[in-house]
Amino acid sequence: MRKMSDTIARLSALRAQQNVHTPNSTSSNRLSTLNGFGSNPGALQARFYLPENLPQGAPLVVVLHGCTQNAAAYDHGSGWSKLADQEGFALLFPEQQRANNPNLCFNWFVPADTKRDSGEALSIRQMIETLVAEHELDRERIFVTGLSAGGAMASVMLATYPDVFAGGAIVAGLAYGTANTIPEAFDRMRGHGGPSELELQRLLRSASPHKGPWPRISIWQGSADQTVAPSNAEAIAGQWRGVHRLGKAPTRSETVDGHTKRTWSDASGHALIETRTITGMGHGTPLRTGGEDGLGVPRPFMLDVGISSTRRIAEFWGIADPSSSASVKPRQPRRDEELPAGSGMFSLADDTRMSSRTTPLQEPAPTRPAAEATGVKKIIEDALRAAGLMR
């Protein structure tokens, strides 16, 4: 483990060259605010999106933004609400606050926030329970995804609440339990040290009392990512192969949309784990913005490389119809899209509370009224108590 003085020195040096992205409060905002979702020990905010005429029993996707982002900006960039309109599912966007982390990173490396029924993990679980109960969503089709620090927090949610999720997707994230301190977080991001594969599998099994079945996992990583080393994607896959009882060699390896896709399937051919390595891509969420199946808007950490991770992840989970459009040759990211090593995601481990140059977040304009009626509130609170999420 590196000394704290070394960590601070490296942090200061990188902050000097860092081009911190300010969340764009003027970007398209389609999200409403979810209030009264429980004790909220992690002090997070909750945003959500429901397509018009959403049927009863619709799936729910939980989306976790990366550092220096907010929920509305990540939705606008990734296109999740656009896909929700097309395919008919609900969205929940937990949102970090500067009081918890000055760079708006989920605290994936803080033990108090990464245990079942504790901290930020419990806050997100309470949001899920509230939205499911209030809008009668399908408990058998709840999924979680995230980018960067949000991807690492998605790993936390999948490990601590595998009984809640049918599937997950981790984009440029890290394995559960790989870091418990700031210096460890820095090192793991760069692919230095960390638990063995067997230890990662043990950490996953011990994170909850759950014995299976286990969520299906999609893992996305840029081959040229200098912020989160590609070896972290391998660590995530290795962690989940244990509970799924899968061998190290993939069942299938192929080129899809110009990029490497590896799949691990069970004996019946059902895909349980997939990894997508995006050739030449740096740190961010892969987008395809052109064509009929294009989604999202390019911006910092949202990279147009000819493949929509948003759409492909939903297809992997079985909540979106496979795209009929032809694959296109991937576009290599321009140099100005590649942010300096350490920018944004480096700060996901920064709890030194340095002054921030970013502007306060704008409160989203609600598009649907919150449930204020006493009867509805009581139903939600009773559901939270029944699930052990509220006293």
Q: Answer yes or no: 218 catalytic.
A: no
The single residue of 148, 218, 309, 347 carrying the catalytic annotation is 148
pLDDT at 28: 76
Three-class HEC string of the chain: CCCHHHHHHHHHHHHHHCCCCCCCCCCCCCCEECCCCCCCCCCCEEEEECCCCCCCCCCEEEEECCCCCCHHHHHHHHCHHHHHHHHCCEEEEEECCCCCCCCCCCCCCCHHHCCCCCHHHHHHHHHHHHHHHHHCCCCCCEEEEEECHHHHHHHHHHHHCCCCCCEEEEECCCCCCCCCCHHHHHHHHCCCCCCCHHHHHHHHHHCCCCCCCCCEEEEEEECCCCCCCCHHHHHHHHHHHHHHCCCCCCCEEEEECCEEEEEEECCCCCEEEEEEEECCCCCCEEECCCCCCCCCCCECCEEECCCCHHHHHHHHHCCCCCCCCCCCCCCCCCHHHCCCCCCCCHHHHCCCCCCCCCCCCCCCCCCCCCCCCHHHHHHHHHHHHHCCCCC
Output the pTM of the full model: 0.81
* Domain spans, the chain: 37-386
Q: Tell me what pLDDT residue 152 has.
A: 98
Class of domain 37-386: alpha beta
Q: CA dist 336 to 35, 77, 260, 324, Å?
A: 39, 17, 24, 32
Separation CA 294–CA 221 (nearest Å): 20
Spell out the per-residue pLDDT of the chain, length 391, in tens: 444 444 443 443 333 333 334 444 445 799 999 999 999 999 999 999 999 999 999 999 999 999 999 999 999 999 999 999 999 999 999 999 999 999 999 999 999 999 999 999 999 999 999 999 999 999 999 999 999 999 999 999 999 999 999 999 999 999 999 999 999 999 999 999 999 999 999 999 999 999 999 999 999 999 999 999 999 999 999 999 999 999 999 999 999 989 999 999 999 999 999 999 999 999 999 999 988 888 999 999 999 999 999 999 999 999 999 854 434 333 444 333 333 333 333 344 443 322 222 222 222 333 333 333 345 455 555 655 555 555 5
Per-residue pLDDT, 106: 98
Alpha carbons 73 and 95: distance in angstroms, whole number: 11
Here the tokens at position 45 are 């905010």
